[in-house]
Structure 1
Amino acid sequence: MQLYNTLSAKERAALIEKAGQERLTISFYSYAQIGNPLIFRNHLFIHWNELDVLGRIYVAHEGINAQLSVPAENFGAFKAHLDSISFLENVRLNIAIEQDNKSFLKLKIKVRKKIVADGLNDHTFDVTDKGIHVDAELFNELIDDPDTLLVDMRNHYESEIGHFKNAITPDVDTFRDSLDIIERDLANHKEDKKLVMYCTGGIRCEKASAYYKHKGFKQVYQLEGGIIDYARQVEKKGLENKFLGKNFVFDHRRGERISEDIIAQCHQCGRSCDNHVNCANEACHLLFIQCDECAKKMDDCCSDDCKEVHNLPYEEQKKLRKGKVVSNKIFKKGRSEVLKFKK
C-alpha cells in the first residue's frame, strides 16, 4: 500500500488548479502519549490521503504538530476522523485567515523525536504544569499592564515582519535558542512581573510556559491559539488589534496579513516591504525579504552570484550542485552577508 507522496509539487499544483475546488488551510497540535508513532503516522496517511489532505505533519511519542490543507467539501469527513482519535477529539483547529488553494502541494507525515525541536529534557520538569491560557480580550488587557513582560517566542525572521506592540523579540534562529536567552534576560523579574508569551498557533508556548514555571517564574501566561486565533477573535468580537504587520506561516503563502502596517524592509534596497521569498538559485534557496523592484532586477535571487548561477542552463546548475549539501544548517533563514538591509 502506498504510504508516501508520489506526485511532484508541479503535478499536484496542476491537479488542484484543474479540480477548481476551494481548500482550507488548517493547523493544529496536541501533546499526547503515542506508543508507536510510526503506526500512528501510517494510520493518518492512509485516511488523509483518501481525503486529498496535503501538508506537513510531525508525529512523535509526545504528540502531533500539523499544518495542512484539505478540500472544503472534505472538511466534515476530516473533522470526523480527528474526532475518532481520542486525544484529537474536539482539538482546536486554527483555520487560516487568508486562504490559498496551493498553500501545500504534498502530503508529508514524518516521525520525529519531538513535534517541536526545543532541546529540552522533558524528564527534568513537569511538562503538564503549563501557564494560564488567555483569550484575545484578556491578552489585550495583560499587555497593557505595565507589570507585564510580553515575549515573542518565534524566530527573528518571523517577528521581523510582524509582532505585537512593545513585545520583546529575541534575535534567534530557532525556538531552542530562545529559551535560555529569555530566561537570562528576564531573570530579575521572576517574582514581580507577569510573563506573557505568544507564538504562531500556540504550540511553542505550551512547552515554554511549563519550562519557565519550572525555572521560577511565578506568573506565566500564554495566548491561547496564538496569533492565528487572536486575529480571528479580534475580528469576531470587535476588539482592538494590537498586532502589527504580518504573521509568518510555514507554507507557500509565507505570511498572513493581520494589520496594514508594514514594519519590515526589503533586504536588498531598504524599501518598505514584508514579502518573504526564497532565492531562485536552487543551490541557495535563502529565505529573505524582497520587493517587486529588486525581484525584477535580481531575477528573484539574493545576490549577483546567485543570479549568475540561476541564469545558467539547468544542466550546468545541476553539475555545480552535485555533491554539495544544502540545508538550513548552512543557509540560515534571513541571514547572509549579501543582505545589506537586514536589521
Structure 2
Amino acid sequence: MAHTAGTKKLGSWFPTASVAKAAPVEGKCTILLFYHYCRPELEKDAKQRLIAFLQDTTGRLQLGGRLRVANEGINSTMSGTADAVREFADALTNWAAKAGKGPFLNPTPDYKYIDDLPPDRAFKDLKILPVNELVFYGVDEKHAPLVNGGTHLDPKDYHQKMKENDTVIIDVRNHYEAEIGRFDGQEKEGGAKYIDPKMRKSTDFKQWLAKDETKAELKGKQVLMYCTGGVRCERASALLNTEMGKDLGGIFQLQGGIEKYLQEFPEGGHWQGKNYVFDKREAFGVGNLAGVGGVVEGGKKKKEKAGKGLSEGVLGKCCVCACEWDRYIGKKKCYTCGVPVLMCSACCTLKPDKTPGKELTVRCPLCVQQNITVPAADVQLTDNGVGVSISKKTKSDGGRNRTNGKEGEGKSAPSVCKWGGGHAVDKKKTRAVKTFGKKCKLGDECTRSACYFTHPKDAKAKANEHSKRPHDSGSAAEVTKKRNVDTTVEKGSNIDILSKVMLSAKERKSVSQPHGDKEQKISKKTKISKKL
C-alpha cells in the first residue's frame, strides 16, 4: 500500500517540502544515488509535474530518502529493496522520455547502486525538497554555465591522471568530510598535489577561488576535482573554468565521485581513510561499504572506546583529547561555526559542550587554526551563513567572550552552519511535553541549562521558596504586593522551562495570577499540563 505524502513545513528553508513515512526494509537494503542537471532548465509547471511523479512513485514503492528538486534538475539519495529502487530508476527514465517537450533526463542519469546493506541503513521517511540550487554555491547558470564544466573521467582514467606531474587535485567537499578521508595517497608517490580549500560549506568555494594565492597555486596546472558522488563538481568546475580556465592545463572531474572510485578500486587505490556520506552509513572505508553508522541490537547506537575498534589509517582526531578518532557521533557541533566535529565516545560522556568554561574545546580544526572564539550562537547571518557579523547582543556587553570572560569582540568564523528554519522549535515543544514530570537520570549533577526533566534540587528549592512566602491574607492586591511575583511557575523549574517554550506571553500572565491556597495552585498546574 502506498504511503501518503503530505506537504509539511520544515522551517523557512523548506516551506513546501513533501514528507512521508517509508516502509521498513525487510532483509537487505539498497541505496540509490543519482543526480541530473536539466538542459534546458525546467519550467515551473514541468517542475511541479516532476514532483507529483516522484511523490506518487516513491509512495507506491515505499521508498525512503532525500530528493532535492530544482528548476536546474534533481539530486537524490534513496533507499529501499534492490528491486524497488531499480524499478524507481526505470520508471523515472521512462516517464522523463514521455514527459512531452524535451525529455529533460537525457542522457540517462548515472544511477549508483549500493546493494546488500543492513536494513538499518534505510531511511525512515521520504523527503522531497523544492530548492533553488541542487548544491548551494550562490552561483547561477549565467555566471558559471555547466557546459563549461570539467571533463568527466571514469575512475580508471582518473586514477591514472592522478599520477601525472604538474597536476593538483581539489577536494570540493567540506573540510569536516576531508578530515576523515581524502585522495592524498598519490602525492606520496610523486603524483598530484592534494589541495583542501578548507570550506565549512559549499558557498565558501567562490571566496576561496577568488584569492590571489589560490590562483597562483593553480596557474599552469592540470586540475582534478572530486566530491562524494559528483554533483558538487559540476558547478564548481564550471566556475573554475569561467574564472581562470585559460590559465590552466585542463580541468577534469571524477565521474560518479568517491562512491564509484571505491567500487572500481575496492582495495582503496589512492584513497586514504573513510568517505563521509549523507545517509545512514555515516562513513565507509575500504572493505566496509556498509559504513560505520546505523543502529544495532536493542536500538542503541554502536559504542566504541577511544583507540579501540578503529581501523588502521585513522586520519581524524577527537577535538577535545586529540586521540585518533574518525566517527561523527552524538551530533556534536563546533561551538564557533556549527559544523560537525569529531569527539570520541569517552569525551562525549563528559559533555564539554554543555559544561560552562569548556565550550571552546569543542571546535573544528579550522576554527582552532583561525583562532575563532565568537560562538556561532552570537553571530548574525547575512547570506546563508556567509559574511557573518557579531550580533548586537554580543556587542552590547562589550563583546565579552562568554566562555573565558576576556574583553574584546574576538574573531568570528567567516561562515557558519546555523539552521534557523524554525522546525526545531516544534521539536523542542514536543520534547518538553514528553519529558514533563520525569526525573533526570543525572540528578543534581546535571549541568544542562535547558533540561526538561525534574531534579531533586528543584523540589528542595521549591519547598524553601514556599516556606519563605507570606501567608495569603487580605485582598488579592495586597497578596500580589507582598509576593511581587506568583511562584506557581517556579523560576528554573521544569514548569518554568515549559512555560517559556510552550506558553504565549498572554498565557504566562494568566498563570502568574496569585492563588489563595495549595489546592488552587495544584489545579492551575493541572490546567497547564492539560493545555500543553
Range class of TM-score, shorter chain: 0.7 to 0.9
How far residue 310 of structure 1 moved from its aligned partner, in angstroms, is 8.7
For 1:34 and 1:131, locate their aligned partners in 2 and report how far apart those are by CA, in whole Å. Answer: 23
RMSD: 3.2
Change (3 A) 1:232 1:81: same
Larger Rg belongs to: 2
- Matches for 1:76-155 after TM superposition, within 5 Å: 76-84=86-94, 85-86=96-97, 87=105, 90-96=108-114, 99-103=117-121, 104-155=123-174
The residue that corresponds to 1:246 in the other structure is 274
**Structure 1 pair 123–93 and aligned structure 2 pair: CA distance change class (3 A):** same
Looking at structure 2, the residues matched to 125 and 143 of structure 1 have their Cα atoms a distance apart, in angstroms, of 25
- Cα distance in 2 for residues equivalent to 1:256 and 1:173: 21
* Distance in 2 between residues matched to 1:91 and 1:205, nearest whole Å: 15
SS in 1 for 2:142: helix
By how many angstroms is 1:266 displaced? 1.4
Higher mean C-alpha deviation, range 64-73 or range 33-42: 33-42
Q: Which residue of structure 2 aligns with residue 332 of structure 1? A: none
1:213-245 CA-to-partner distances (Å, cap 9, x unmatched) read: 11122311101111111100112xx7x611111
**Cα pair distance change 1:105/1:2, threshold 3 Å:** closer
Q: Deviations over 1:58-103 (max 9, x none)?
A: 1000000111112223233222212212306642122348834334
The aligned residue for residue 341 of structure 2 is 288
Distance 2:81 2:501 in 1: 38
Which residue matches 1:197? 225
Amino acid at match of 1:266: C
1:181 maps to which of 202, 208, 217: 208
- Other-structure match for 2:317: 265
Q: CA deviation at 1:42?
A: 2.1
Q: Which consecutive unaligned segments of at least 5 residues does structure 1 have?
A: 324-343
Closer/same/farther in 2, CA of residues 279 and 304 from structure 1, 3 Å limit: farther
Q: CA deviation at 1:140?
A: 2.1
1:319 to 498, 505, 529: 498
What 5-or-longer segments of structure 2 have no aligned partner? 9-19, 98-104, 188-193, 288-311, 360-445, 455-493, 503-532
Secondary structure of 1:124's aligned partner: coil
3-state DSSP of counterpart to 2:79: strand
Alignment correspondent of 2:175: 156
Does 158-167 or 192-201 show the bigger shift?
Answer: 158-167
Shift of 1:39: 2.9
Whole-Å Cα distance in 2 between the matches of residues 69 and 156 of structure 1?
A: 27
Amino acid at match of 2:155: A
Higher normalized strand content (fraction of residues)? 1
Return 248-257 or 204-213, whichever deviates more: 248-257
What's the % identity of the aligned pairs?
24
Counterpart Cα distance in 1 of 2:315 and 2:353? 20
**Contact 1:22 1:71 (8 Å CA) reproduced:** yes
CA contact under 8 A between 1:155 and 1:171: conserved in structure 2?
A: yes
Change (3 A) 1:286 1:142: closer
Cα deviations by residue, 1:320-343 (Å, 9 ceiling, x for unpaired): 9838xxxxxxxxxxxxxxxxxxxx
Cα distance in 2 for partners of 1:190, 1:257 equals 29
1:93 aligned partner, one-letter code: Y
Structure 2 residue matching 1:28: 3-state secondary structure: strand
Alignment partner of 2:196 out of 169, 183, 206:
169
Residue aligned with 2:341, SS: strand
- Return the letter of the residue paired with 1:308: T
Q: Structure 1 length as normaliser, TM-score?
A: 0.79
Aligned to 1:331: none
TM-superposed deviation, 1:164: 0.7
Aligned equivalent of 2:28, options 22, 26, 31: 22
CA distance in 1, matches of 2:164, 2:134: 33
Counting matched residue pairs gives 309
Q: Deviations over 1:100-123 (max 9, x none)?
A: 433422100011111110101321
Alpha-carbon shift at residue 131 of structure 1 (Å): 0.9
Residue 190 (structure 1) shift: 5.4
Counterpart residue identity of residue 78, structure 1:
F
**Counterpart secondary structure, 2:198:** coil
Contact 1:97–1:256, Cα closer than 8 Å, also in 2: no
**Shift of residue 152 of structure 1?**
0.2
2:511 paired residue number = none
Please, what TM-score do these two structures have when normalized by structure 2? 0.53
Could you tell me which amino acid in structure 1 is paired with residue 26 of structure 2? G
Contact 1:52 1:70 in 2 (8 A): yes
Between 1 and 2, higher relative CO (CA 8 Å, sep ≥ 6) is seen in: 1
Q: Is 2:35–2:73's contact at 8 Å kept on the other side of the alignment?
A: yes
> Which moves more between the two structures, 111-120 or 134-143?
134-143
The answer to whether residue 62 in structure 2 is matched with residue 46 in structure 1 is: no
Point out the more displaced range, 24-33 or 285-294: 285-294
Instruction: Say if 1:68 and 1:302 are closer, same or farther in 2 by CA, change over 3 A.
Output: farther
Q: Report SS of the residue matched to 1:276.
A: coil
Judge conservation of contact 1:277–1:287 (CA < 8 Å) in 2: no
Letter in 1 for 2:340: L
Residue aligning to 1:56: 66
Distance 2:157 2:353 in 1: 42
